Structure 1
Amino acid sequence: MNSFDNILKDHLNKAHLKQFNKIYYGREDHCEIKLKKSTKTESKNGNFEVAGYSFAAAKEELRKPNILRLGLIQHSIVLPTDEPIKDQRQAIFNKIGKIIKVAASEDVRILCLQETWTMPFFLCTGEKKKWEEFAEPASDGPSTIFLRELAKKYEMVIISPILERDENGKWWNTAVVIDEEGNYMGKHRKNHLPSVGSFSETSYYEPGNLGHPVFCTKYGKIAVNICYGRHQSLNWLMFALNGAQIVFNPAATIAEFGETFWGIEARAAAVANHYFTCSINRVGTEEFSVKKDKRVRTYYGSSYVTAPDGCRTPGLPKDKDGLLIVEVDLNLCRQIKDQWGFNMTARLDMYAEGIAKNNMKYC
């Protein structure tokens, strides 16, 4: 199955599809962006899917439209996991560089890559030493140097989730933010770590210690909620309280965990917090040799974007590299906030008091 969205197109007539779209996606029309002919050519040559959609806001008298394009890249690894680390990473750099070039040609201004995009997601192996050379400094590691050049060249803000090694040798699951001039802006460290099945991330690094930073870029206020953090509603809330207009959720999630609610959590967060959410998931199959055993993990892609009013785009494929381009008007954040009044009725003081007292009683 390439994607849920294609199943619908193939099996519903036009009238039924329109009605389904209204209920499931929040609008009858996906508002597709007309992409350049060169984009389609490059995507075909590079063997990746490309799709584009837009979200409009109502016209205002005192504020001009605040329109920009976002880019999400999902991808598979290139070389087998037993190849030299330097070669594995460079092969991914080569592939991603070409996709970012296409994103730039479509005027993408903020782009996010998937969780630990520079490497296979080896955390399922239970091994550490074998993979330690993938860990890198946040501000001047190989991936940051590589992306800083592209960010400056294309005047693009780039979010780069990596495996960070700090000055004390500790590891962190980190998202680096690079501004449109190629400068290192800062980082966010993954707040919530899973210990589910073979993914015991607490064996590799600690929960984040940087809170919920929001980065005030030239194009908008952005934040990063890395992978497993999407299961925590208060995690999403804190980014909203700190002023985020767009929250990216780069992930590496396998079909055995979470595919049934992949399309729900970030969408619910967009509704509850009145910002755009951008969900990026790894794709492809990765095979590891662990002693005499083989471990295989397959990821389901399906990256998508949700607007503050709950409308969402179709997802990228489950089984193919992809670039999702979404044109948004950030004015929609305040418009929905004013219209729905969730913030006004939130009663945060009541919940804060209850949590502080920890006196909740259960039947």
Structure 2
Amino acid sequence: MKEVQVGLAQVSCVADKAANIAKAEDNIRTLAAKGAQIICLQELFSSLYFCDVEDYANFQLAEAIPGPTTDRFQGLAKELDVVIIASLFEKRAEGLYHNTTAVIDADGSYLGKYRKNHIPDDPGYFEKFYFTPGDTGYKVFDTRFGKLGVLICWDQWYPEAARITALMGADILFYPTAIGWAQHQAAEVNQDQYNAWQTIQRSHAVANGVPVVSVNRTGVEGEMVFWGGSFVSNAFGRILYQAPHDQEALHVQTISLTESDYYRTHWPFYRDRRIETYQPILKRYLGEE
């Protein structure tokens, strides 16, 4: 059985970007010492979740990719012999910004980036103010420890994104995430929202026969309580690990890369796909125009 050790870093953030990056480096070192081979950081780990407000000053947080943080992490990945999945605020050009995740291989080489396709705009999540929708297409990164599919937060609600990335050959789907509860929301609503969030991602594991790793932040920022709850599911949606909601967590999880063949053989969803019938999904809506 081929297995890989995956490290998750669920942490709280502060306003100091340099401090957050230094903390991320410390966490990567800790996870590597615990045996992690692939380490995934949460969405926009180098700052507070600034999208809770529309403030032009926040564009100063962005950086080039490749750039200073990826350069630093390339050296770290090579030193520790680990793959790093790092979600950053990308400045592509003057006035052009993306929510982007970079992937660095265990030899320190920069493998490329995925730019978030689905951009939310909701109370407390004003991402359309900051981010241009991605144009990289869906991406799979061929690393030393496996082929990794990377999607970002709001992408996780879309089965199309998971399906396409899995069809491209991903061994594991990773979702760096920043999602939380409004501070004064009812406990029942909180639980419903978390359950829906986890269920949709576990369904991607089931439908595609691939493990899913979702890494969220925790802590209170403004009016938002980030709900943590980072988790790993196997290729049939079984929860292998779930982090607490209100605490930081550094965890290393063993994931099988051979179970996919077992589940896809016994539950042959790929075999029975009727691709000739799927053209209508390219329409925005199929009811009355």
Fold in common (TM above 0.5): yes
Q: Is the 8 A contact 2:241 2:253 kept in 1?
A: no
**Inter-partner Cα distance in structure 2 for 1:183 and 1:357:** 39
Q: Is the 8 A contact 1:272 1:342 kept in 2?
A: yes
Q: Give 2:180's match in structure 1, choosing from 240, 247, 254.
A: 254
Question: Which residue in the other structure is 1:334 paired with?
Answer: 261
Q: Give 1:158's match in structure 2, choosing from 75, 84, 87.
A: 84
Give the AA of the match of 2:25. Answer: G
Give the AA of the match of 1:343. Answer: Y
Question: Which residue in the other structure is 1:201 paired with?
Answer: 127
**CA drift at 1:358:** 7.1
- Structure 1 residues 167 and 126, CA gap change in structure 2 (3 angstroms): closer
**CA drift at 1:309:** 1.7
Equivalent residues in 2 for 1:312-323, closer than 5 Å:
312-323=239-250
Instruction: Report the TM-score, using the length of structure 2 for normalisation.
Output: 0.92
Give the AA of the match of 2:181. Answer: A
Q: Give 2:13's match in structure 1, choosing from 77, 86, 98.
A: 77
Question: Which residue in the other structure is 1:270 paired with?
Answer: 205
Give the AA of the match of 2:49. Answer: F
Q: 2:35 matched to 1:107?
A: yes
**CA drift at 1:179:** 0.8
**Inter-partner Cα distance in structure 1 for 2:261 and 2:247:** 35
Between the two proteins, the alignment pairs up a number of residues equal to 279
**CA drift at 1:144:** 1.0
Q: 2:251 matched to 1:324?
A: yes
Q: 2:10 matched to 1:92?
A: no
**Inter-partner Cα distance in structure 1 for 2:88 and 2:285:** 39
Give the AA of the match of 1:152. Answer: K
| Structure with greater proportional strand content | 2
Q: 2:232 matched to 1:305?
A: yes
Question: Which residue in the other structure is 1:145 paired with?
Answer: 71
**CA drift at 1:278:** 0.3
**CA drift at 1:349:** 2.1
**Inter-partner Cα distance in structure 2 for 1:177 and 1:148:** 9
Question: Which residue in the other structure is 1:119 paired with?
Answer: 47
Q: Is the 8 A contact 1:178 1:186 kept in 2?
A: yes
CA shift digits 1:208-263 (9 cap, x unpaired):
11111101111101011100011111011110111111011111101247323122
**Inter-partner Cα distance in structure 2 for 1:359 and 1:73:** 38
**Aligned with 2:264: secondary structure?**
helix
Q: 2:164 matched to 1:229?
A: no
Question: What percent of counterpart residues are identical?
Answer: 31
- Structure 1 residues 344 and 205, CA gap change in structure 2 (3 angstroms): same
**CA drift at 1:194:** 0.6
Q: 2:143 matched to 1:217?
A: yes
**Aligned with 1:284: secondary structure?**
strand
**Inter-partner Cα distance in structure 1 for 2:205 and 2:111:** 25
Instruction: Report the TM-score, using the length of structure 1 for normalisation.
Output: 0.73
Q: Which entry has the higher C-alpha Rg, 1 or 2?
A: 1
**Inter-partner Cα distance in structure 2 for 1:112 and 1:206:** 23
**Aligned with 1:285: secondary structure?**
strand
